[in-house]
Chains A and B, each alone.
Chain A
Amino acid sequence: MRSCVLLACVPDTASVIKLGAAGNRIDEAGIKWVISPYDEFALEEAVRIKEAGSGHVTVISYGPDRVQATLRDGLARGADAAVQVTGGETTFGNALAIARVLAAAIRKLGGFDLVWAGVKGVGSDNSLVGAMVAELCDLPHVSGVLKAEFGGGKVVAHREVDGGMEVIEAPLPCVLTAQKGLNEPRYPSLKGIMASKKAAIQTMSVADLGLDEAALAGAGCRWRSLALPPAKGGGMILNGETDPAAAARELARLLREQAKVI
């Protein structure tokens, strides 16, 4: 099975987000960049499929040079090859442009049975790129996969939906996006880390893919401005240490009479 895994390079989920000077981006100072957590599940599954049989895993990331560390992390976790599509400064947060670039890279590299991505890239939080890539590559997709089994040129995938679980069958090649619960990603081994440092990363530009980044940027979502959510504070905090039952009664009264929510 030949897989490619789309890796988004995002701020670590423990990061404190501050506004940058540009007004529509975060302040990147001090941010630790990581593989988007859902992409880790996708990568782990692709590597397990390879280990269970045979195959090859390519990680692809679109972005500036910091994605090289993301790709090396992917290699350290078991990927065999890494591809950087350079650029991405003007198409930030623009799911359509990102999907068009990634779909073009997937077509150019060719020969994949499976395209994996996370169900969501934490950061832009769009949850769009996987399904968009599928449509642009004319492939079926299953999003939010919790379990996947392969055989006879098909995948049978389980996904959580509102109100239950769906079992979906699709022919390969197919796009799958990973949900938390699919697996428990491994930590990179020391040997893997050492090897990944020396590995070659193939690079291609958006122009190499026959696309124009400026035109892509104009066609999709633009971030006009960024703000921090209004700070809360001054909540009414009751002491429930000595008489928990009295505090509970008072809380219920406040929720009913003051907040009017129960």
Chain B
Amino acid sequence: MAGILCVIEQRDGTIRRASLQALSQAARLTAPTGAAVTAVLVGHGVSGLAPSLGGYGASRVLVADELRFARYTPEAYAAAIQAAAALVVPQAVFMSATTVGRDLAGRLAARLGVDCLADVVKVWLEEDAVVAVRPVYSGKALATVDGGSSSPVVVTLRPNVFAVEPIAAAGTVEPLSVPEVAVRAVVREVVAKESGELDVAEADIVVSGGRGMKAPENLALVRDLAHAMGAAVGASRAIVDAGWIDHAYQVGQTGKVVSPTLYLACGISGAIQHLAGMSSSKIIVAINKDPEAPIFKAADYGIVGDALQVLPALTAEVKRLKAEG
């Protein structure tokens, strides 16, 4: 068994939780055989983050800490991961299916001449295969897939599906040498979102609004509840297409696919397009006036009622419970 190489993503000096999820899963899969888990961390000024990765199962941490890696570019990062893969010769390369991970995976896999199992919700190792379950047709079906004769198999793991598991262990940290590569697509500027806003694809709780919110200004009720819960805001396709909110918030087949612990659909009827993007959430709550709305079939809890009246009361109650502790 050749072990797993796990790509660690960091942003602004913090390791992303989604990467720790992937790393913990790699550690769980290799525990029975004792195969090694190697983490690879690429960035600038990131070396200080490396020692902590041993506490999530990386027995070895390779660090490419150079100015040229200060910003993510697929060409430079693919070269770095390729250099790590050449050292480790792993059975699989894991990374989280974040925006960066999904972009990097394709470039890396083609560079290695291998395929990628994308956005998986289950993954395991067989003697000669890496096998995974992944939602396809936007979650309307689940495919069990393997990587064929690809070696290594690149795997992107859906955020929020795999548990983070700290362990009492430490890893060795080594610098990673990466050959010079031409980087043609360069980042000129990064425009940050409003601070404090959570990404809908990665949030633990998502509160989404739909047509039943009746007017764009009423989305403030959705934002208030999201704020009280520490949640990200999401939206149905209908209100994105109507111009109430930016597409970055859209949940569904032509938007983000999310699987938070708690998903609240407010004034969303639950078109098949929307259900495809959120049905793998652990707990689904629907608030809708129409008792026949398809969203109730997917819901664990629901309120048949006007979201405009229910939301302020729910926000107040959540605040009260949180204050109680």
Chain A residues within 8 Å of B, Cβ to Cβ: 11, 13-17, 19, 24, 26, 37-38, 93-97, 99, 122-136, 139-144, 156, 160-171, 174, 179-181, 217-229, 232-233, 235-241, 244-245, 247-249, 251-252, 254-256, 259, 261-262
Contacts and interface: CB of A to CB of B under 8 A. Distances in A.
A193 B190 CA distance: 42
B177 interface: no
B217 to A, nearest CB: 19
A107 to B, nearest CB: 14
A26 B111 CA distance: 31
A245 B309 CA distance: 8
B138 A122 contact: yes
Q: Which 7 A-B pairs have the closest CB atoms?
A: A240-B305, A131-B106, A220-B115, A248-B313, A135-B110, A140-B184, A140-B185
B296 interface: yes
B318 to A, nearest CB: 6
Contact of A221 (B147, B287, B297): B147
Contacts of A222: 145-146, 148
Interface range for B: 35 or more
Contacts of B188: 156, 167-169
A37 B98 CA distance: 21
A180 B255 contact: yes
Nearest to B12: A163
B163 interface: no
B165 interface: no
Contact of B300 (A24, A232, A239): A232
Contact of A26 (B137, B250, B285, B305): B137
B106 A132 contact: yes
Q: Is the interface of B mostly helix, strand, loop or mixed?
A: mixed
B136 A238 contact: no
Interface string B99-119: 110111111011101111111
A161 B99 contact: yes
Interface of B: 11, 72, 74-75, 78, 98-100, 102-107, 109-111, 113-119, 131, 134-150, 184-193, 199, 201-202, 205, 229, 246-248, 250, 253-255, 257, 261-262, 272-273, 276, 279-280, 282-287, 291, 296-306, 309-311, 313-314, 316-318, 321-322
A69 B287 CA distance: 41
Given A161-B72, A162-B100, A259-B300, 9 more contacts: A123-B136, A128-B106, A141-B107, A166-B187, A229-B142, A238-B303, A239-B304, A240-B306, A252-B317
Nearest to B116: A128
A235 B192 CA distance: 39
A224 B272 CA distance: 25
A181 B176 CA distance: 39
Contacts of A237: 286, 291, 296, 299, 301-304
B98 A162 contact: yes
A235 B110 contact: no
Contacts of A17: 137, 140-141
21 contacts: A13-B272, A93-B136, A96-B113, A126-B116, A135-B106, A141-B107, A162-B199, A166-B190, A168-B187, A168-B188, A180-B247, A220-B114, A221-B145, A221-B150, A222-B145, A224-B143, A232-B279, A241-B304, A248-B316, A255-B262, A256-B321
Contact of B109 (A128, A139, A217, A259): A128
A252 B141 contact: no
Q: For B72, B106, B284, B317, which residue has the most chain A Cβ atoms within 10 angstroms? A: B106
A123 B137 CA distance: 4
B279 A229 contact: yes
Contact of B273 (A13, A131, A241): A13
A169 B187 CA distance: 6
Q: Identify the interface centre among B117, B192, B303, B310: most chain A CB within 10 Å of its CB.
A: B303
A179 B141 CA distance: 23
Nearest to A230: B142
Contacts of B140: 15-17, 228-229
Contacts of A232: 279, 284, 297-300
A162 B110 CA distance: 24
Contacts of B287: 240
B321 A122 contact: no
B135 A143 contact: no
B273 A14 contact: yes
B321 A164 contact: no
A166 B189 contact: yes
Given A96-B150, A222-B148, A235 B299 contact: yes
B141 A228 contact: yes
A52 B116 CA distance: 38
B187 to A, nearest CB: 5
A251 B141 contact: no
A227 B254 contact: no
Nearest to A252: B317
A256 B323 CA distance: 13
Contacts of B137: 11, 15, 17, 26, 122-123, 125
B96 to A, nearest CB: 10
